[in-house]
């Protein structure tokens, strides 16, 4: 699979997603994302938005989903990067009932640590400090979760 440029700028995307998460904090618990191929093989970004129970009344859900989806597509620059964007919304109550590991904090945090390790390893020029941070991040991702 050929990766779009968004894969190279993972830290910038993570920061932008966290910023959106903060701006929607009254409605959102967390936003996770991952990259992959959709069913047609096109490079894609998959967003999982965990919505606060009290912020998810049906009458406002459509408008909220549109606003946050547009903000996330802008942050990921999906058009510029040739990414198809997919969104999945779930309430805290629904997640507690389903217990889907892809939505849990530790799974997302492990992925963040691995992505951080890769980013630190790719920093140029390579310094002893960045290599140590990369190894440390990878170690925690693998052995502590």
pTM for the model? 0.67
Give, in order, the Cα–Cα distances in Å from 124 to each of 72, 116, 127. 28, 15, 8
Q: Mean pLDDT, 10 residues at a time, over the chain (145 residues)?
A: 54 88 91 88 91 75 92 92 92 87 64 72 77 78 63
Q: What is the DSSP letter of 124?
A: S
Give, in order, the Cα–Cα distances in Å from 120 to each of 27, 31, 81. 32, 23, 22
d(CA 113, CA 103): 16
pLDDT at 112: 67
pLDDT at 1: 47
């Amino acid at each position: 699979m050929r990766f779009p440029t968004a894969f190279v700028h993972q830290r910038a995307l993570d920061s932008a997603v966290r910023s959106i998460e903060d701006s929607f904090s009254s409605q959102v618990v967390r936003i996770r994302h991952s990259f992959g191929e959709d069913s047609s093989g096109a490079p894609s970004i998959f967003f999982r938005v965990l919505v606060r129970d009290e912020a998810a009344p049906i009458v406002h859900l459509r408008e909220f989903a549109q606003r946050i989806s547009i903000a996330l597509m802008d942050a990921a620059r999906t058009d510029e990067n040739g990414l198809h964007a997919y969104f999945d919304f779930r309430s805290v109550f629904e997640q507690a009932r389903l217990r889907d590991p892809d939505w849990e904090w530790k799974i997302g945090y492990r992925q963040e640590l691995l992505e951080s390790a890769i980013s630190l390893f790719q920093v140029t020029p390579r310094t002893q400090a960045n290599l140590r941070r990369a190894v440390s991040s990878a170690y925690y991702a693998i052995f502590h979760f």
